[in-house]
Amino acid sequence: MQFLQKLGIEKNNCGACTGSKWHMSEAGEVLEIISPVDSKQIASVRVVTKKEYETVIRTAVKVSLDWQKVPAPKRGEIVRQIGLRLRDNKENLGRLVSYEMGKSLQEGLGEVQEMIDICDFAVGQSRMLYGLTMHSERENHRMYEQYHPRGVVGIITAFNFPVAVWAWNAMIAAVCGNVCIWKPAPQVPLSAIATQKILGKVLEENDLPEGIFSLLAGDGPVIGESLVNDSRIPLISFTGSVPVGRRVAEATARRLAKSILELSGNNAIILTEHADLQIALPAVVFGAVGTAGQRCTTTRRLIIHDAVYDKVKSALIGAYQCLRIGNPLDEKNHVGPLISVDAVTAFRQALEAVQAQGGRILYGGENLSGPGYESGCYVVPALVEAENDFPIVQVETFGPILYLIRYRGNVSNAIAIQNDVKQGLSSAIFTTNMRQAEKFLSNAGSDCGIANVNIGTSGAEIGGAFGGEKDTGGGRESGSDAWKAYMRRQTVTINYGTEMPLAQGIKFDLNI
C-alpha cells in the first residue's frame, strides 16, 4: 500500500527511537501487526528489550535539562513545525490509523486533524504559561507563583486512538519544557512509528539533540511496568482500562510520582419529554456506533422519558437498519470492525449476559461473515432494552451496544439513573426546557467530567480539558488549564525591604 511507503513503514520495523535515531535489538521479539479490516499482515515490529529501554530513558533524562532551558515560545516553534508536517502527511497517516485500528477513514483523518489542532493550541499555550501574583501580608514583600517543567513524561496510550491521545499529552508537555516517552498500544504500533518518523525529521532539521520525543513499542509487562515504576519519570499519563489504571496509580503513588489517568466511560444520554429528536437521534447513533463503540466517550446508555420511549425505540431500529458495515477505508461505510476477535467475543458475552439478566435485544448483535468480513471482527451494532442496575450495564463493554433505559417522572429521576454507575466521563441531555438543562448542569446534576446539552457524549473539542471522575480516573488532558499537570507549581516570596518579619509575629532578636 502506497501510504505505508510514504510514511516510511517497512516490512520489518524497529520499536525504539530517541527522536530521529532508531535502536534495533536482535534479541527483541517480533510483533506481527494484523489489520482487523481484512486479517492481512501489515508489517512487523521488533519490540523493545530492557537494553533499548535503558538507552531511551537515559537519553531522555540527559537532554531534559537542556530542553527546559529553551524558551517556551521556541519550544512552541518546534511544535508548530510538527503540526505543519502532520498536515503534509494527514491523508497517509489517517489511512494507516484506519487500516491498523479499524476505525472509519473519516475518523482516522479526523484523529490526525486533532493532532494538528492540538499543535496549534500548544503553540499559543507556549506564550501563556501564566502564574498568579498575590499581595503579601508583610510590608515590602512580593508574592507570586510560577511553573517549572517536571522533566520526563511517560505517555501510555490505548489502541482506540493510536495517535491523537499521545498528541494531546506530548504537544502540551513539550511546550511546558518536558521531554516525552511514548509507549503505544501493542495492537497499533505502526501508527506511532509513522508519527515518530514525521516528527523526527523536524528534530533533525532544527539540529535538536536526541531524547526530546522518544518511542518505546513493546508489551505492557515489560515496557509499561518499567515506565510506571521508574523513579526517573515524575509523571505518567495513562489511557486504558480501570484495572490497569489502578495499578498505574498504585505504582506511581508508591514512589510519590504523579499520574494522569483517562480510564473507562459508561456514558449516558438523557432524552427528556422536551427533546428535539431531529437533532438528538443522529447524535445518539453516532455516539453509539462511531469507532464501532470503541471510544471512551461512546454512548452506552440511552435514558429515555416514557412519553417518547416508543417513538425513539422505533426510530433507532430504523436508523440501525440503514447502517453500512464494512471496510472502513470505504467512505460509504459507517461502521468498521472491532479491534480483534477477542473484542468480538467480549461483545457476544455482554449480549448473552444482558439477556440472562432480563434484557431484550431489539436489533443487531450478530457476527458478520462472508466476503468482506473475513477477519471475523465485524458485528452488527446492537440495541438492547435493559435496566440500569443490571450488572452488565454497570460495566463498560468496549463495543457497539446501546442500552435503552426507560424513566418516568421528572428529570431528577433520569439524572439519578445516569449517575448510578462507577464511571464518570461524558454525559449529555437533550431538552428544549431551560430548567431541565440547568438542573443537569448544576451541582445536583451530572457527576461526569464532561456534561453536554443538546450535543452527544463523543466528539470532545481540544480547547476544553478532557477527562472524568470516579472510576474514569480524575485526570485532565488537552485544553483549558490541563497544561498545569505537566508542570510543578512553585510559590515565590521576595523580601525587598530591610527588615525580616517572621511568621506568626514571632520575635527572634539576635545581636549581629
DSSP class of residue 19? S
C-beta separation of 22 from 204 below 8 A = no
Pairing of strands 360-363, 382-385: antiparallel
- Residues carrying an active site annotation: 262, 296
Cα-based distances in Å from 130 to 32, 117, 133, 139, 146:
46, 21, 10, 25, 7
Q: How far apart are CA 170 and CA 172, in angstroms?
A: 6
List, as one string, the DSSP characters of 292-303. GG-STT-EEEEE
SS3 content of the chain, % helix, strand, coil (to 5): 40, 20, 40
Tell me how far CA of residue 232 lies from CA of 149, 184, 227, 252, in angstroms. 14, 20, 9, 11
CB-neighbour burial class of residue 341 (10 A; exposed 0-12, middle 13-18, buried 19+): middle
Extract the C-alpha cell encoding 247. Answer: 495499578
Place of cell 456534561: 451
Strand 141-149 to 133-134 pairing: antiparallel
> Is residue 483 within 8 Å of 125, Cβ to Cβ?
yes
